[in-house]
């Protein structure tokens, strides 16, 4: 196990850009597949749309524009298509952290350094991150564990306070769940269900994990942590440490974060362990990517 005081910098070499993904192997994926019992596929991503989706003002809303459709039949014929044949295409414009998304290890820096000590100066406005961009993450699969704190507490939505380590461990015990090295841990607070039902208004006060939970997860060598809120961690921040959980997990330990996971169906089926699969868009130098993860239970 690692400790939060030293983190994972240098653990997999001075040139490492993949962080906690180093816990995964063909053997861990095969072991994770043993969690499949029914074969049901759960979609954990939100629908991208210009309305009803929680988003920060500086990111703007996702936009879909028509590039080509039936009104352009003359263009189709101009390249040899018969008059009755046509097709449609789109252009999408969105921030990389729109909707359900995966943070790259270059997303946050502290003291001028990103994960593994890479300097923030290696990030340029045109080319993005020279190190730890989302393309270095790539697709991965692992054992997933749902920690359904809202259901354990018997409420549809947790109050906007930190999930304590006691809350977290009590939920695991009640579910009969455990957390193993390499796991992807998904924490359900009920916030996203509440948010989408109310029209997608982004409230700053949100439930999420506290720093003690983040440190416990780092000590247990998880690969990624996701939640159904906007930051994984509680907002406002635990102990007034701005983005403290991002610093602990993403920067110090190279543990990936996913926000706005849709966990309702997993909760309803009480599917607490599953095969988790995700693949970000491989945008060179990007700080993150929208994703539609799947759980196979």
Q: Is residue 11 part of a domain?
A: no
What does the alpha-carbon distance between residue 71 and residue 66 come to, in Å, rounded to a whole number? 11
Q: How many CB atoms lie within 10 A of CB 17?
A: 23
Whether residue 49 lies inside any domain: the answer is yes
In-domain check, residue 165: yes
Token pair in block for residue 246: 């991002």
Q: What is the mean pLDDT of residues 227-243?
A: 94
Write the CATH number for 115. 3.50.30.50
Tens of pLDDT, residues 78-136: 888 888 888 899 999 999 999 999 999 999 999 999 999 999 998 888 899 999 999 99
Same structural domain, 41 and 159: yes
User: Is the same domain home to 174 and 259?
Assistant: yes
Per the domain annotation, does 180 fall within a domain? Answer: yes
> Rounded mean pLDDT of the chain?
93
Percent of residues, the chain, with pLDDT higher than 70: 98
Q: Are the C-beta atoms of residues 143 and 184 closer than 8 Å to each other?
A: yes
Measured CA angle at 218 (ends 272, 30), to 5 deg: 50
Residue 88 near residue 68, CB atoms below 8 Å = yes
79 and 145 share one domain: no
Q: What is the residue range of 86's domain?
A: 61-93
Could you tell me if residue 8 is inside a domain? Answer: no
Residue 257 located in a structural domain: yes
In the chain, how many domains are there?
Answer: 2
On whether residue 3 sits in a domain, the answer given is no
Query: Does 66 share its domain with 106?
Result: no
Tens-digit pLDDT profile for residues 141-198: 999 999 999 999 999 999 999 999 999 999 999 999 999 999 999 999 999 999 999 8
Predicted model pTM: 0.93
| Same domain assignment for residues 114 and 88 | no
Question: Is 1 contained in some domain?
Answer: no
d(CA 177, CA 161): 23
Q: What is the pLDDT of residues 237-290, one digit of tens each?
A: 998 899 999 999 999 999 999 999 999 999 999 999 999 999 999 999 999 999
Residues 148 and 30 in one domain: yes
Shared domain check, 159 and 68: no
Q: Are 87 and 224 in the same domain?
A: no
Residues 132 and 273 in one domain: yes
Q: Is pLDDT at 1 greater than 50 in this prediction?
A: no
The secondary structure element, H or E, covering residue 119 is: none
Phi, psi of 38 (to 5 degrees): -110, -20
Residue 148, SS3 per DSSP: strand
Q: What digits encode the pLDDT tens for the residues 30-77? A: 999 999 999 999 999 999 899 888 888 888 889 999 998 888 878 888
């Amino acid at each position: 196990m690692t400790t939060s005081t030293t983190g994972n910098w240098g653990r997999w070499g001075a040139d490492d850009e993949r962080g906690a993904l180093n816990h995964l192997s063909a053997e861990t994926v095969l072991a994770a597949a043993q969690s499949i019992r029914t074969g049901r596929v759960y979609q954990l991503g939100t629908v991208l749309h210009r309305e009803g989706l929680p988003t920060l003002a500086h990111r703007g809303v996702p936009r879909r524009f028509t590039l080509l459709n039936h009104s352009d039949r003359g263009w189709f014929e101009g390249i040899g298509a018969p008059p009755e044949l046509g097709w449609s295409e789109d252009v999408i414009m969105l921030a990389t952290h729109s909707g359900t998304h995966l943070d790259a290890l270059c997303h946050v820096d502290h003291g001028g350094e990103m994960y593994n000590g890479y300097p923030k100066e290696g990030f340029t406005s045109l080319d993005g991150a020279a190190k730890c961009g989302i393309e270095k993450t790539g697709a991965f699969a692992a054992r997933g564990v749902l920690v359904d704190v809202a259901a354990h507490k018997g409420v549809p939505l947790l109050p906007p306070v930190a999930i304590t380590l006691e809350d977290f461990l009590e939920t695991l015990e009640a579910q009969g769940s455990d957390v193993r090295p390499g796991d992807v841990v998904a924490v359900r607070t009920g916030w996203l269900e509440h948010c989408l039902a109310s029209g997608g208004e982004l409230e700053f006060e949100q439930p999420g994990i506290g720093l003690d939970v983040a440190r416990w997860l780092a000590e247990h060598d998880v690969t990624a942590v996701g939640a159904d809120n906007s930051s994984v961690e509680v907002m406002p921040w635990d102990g007034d440490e701005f983005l403290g959980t991002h610093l602990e997990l993403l920067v110090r330990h190279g543990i990936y974060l996913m926000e706005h996971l849709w966990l309702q169906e997993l909760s309803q089926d009480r599917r607490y362990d599953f095969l988790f699969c995700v693949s970000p868009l491989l945008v060179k130098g990007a700080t993150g990517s929208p994703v539609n993860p799947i759980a196979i239970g």
